Amino acid sequence: MKLLVINGPNLNMLGIREVNIYGRKTYSDLEDFIRAAFAEAGAEGEIFQSNHEGEIVEKIQQAYKVFDGIIINPAAYTHTSVAILDALKAVGIPTAEVHLSDVDSREEFRRFSYVSLAAELTVKGEGFEGYRKAVLWMKERLTNAER
């Protein structure tokens, strides 16, 4: 089972500002946390972060026939990017969406997610734990698909 985790713009700034919303832990801490979740699930995984929409689209396209599942926190592109939605639909890889914060209880513009239209699971407001939930959910999802 090969999983690809994609993190969108500004998530590399975690722990530096807006600690009241996103917490004090850094992006490197998040990578360590996700690697531990891969190990718990017995999955192989890669973690990719980009501040550029086109790079995220290309990474999703390159995942075709390489990765079995995608876990994505598209960050601000969640609310704007038809291109990322179309890329996810194009590759047809099972997708889970993660948000550190509870996007439903923040500004109105964060309530809508294009990526939710392709994702089978969305986890919001659970901090780093949301990634672990998504990895473990994906393990179940892919195991059941093999039966």
CA distance 130 to 30: 11
Among 38, 87, 99, 115, binds ligand CA2 (CB under 6 A): 99
Among 14, 41, 70, 84, binds ligand CA2 (CB under 6 A): 14
CA distance 140 to 145: 8
Residue 100 lies near ligand CA2 (rule: CB under 6 A): yes
Using only C-alpha atoms, what is the Rg of the chain? 14
CA distance 5 to 75: 13
Binding mask 17-36 for ligand CA2 (x = CB under 6 A): xx---x--------------
CB 131 within 8 A of CB 124: no
- Looking at residues 40 to 59 of the shown chain, list those that interact with ligand CA2 (rule: CB under 6 A): none
By beta-carbon proximity to ligand CA2, the closer residue of 107 and 146 is 107
By beta-carbon proximity to ligand CA2, the closer residue of 1 and 76 is 76
CB 105 within 8 A of CB 79: no
**Interface residue list for ligand CA2 (CB under 6 A):** 10-11, 13-14, 16-18, 22, 73, 75-76, 78, 99-101, 103, 110
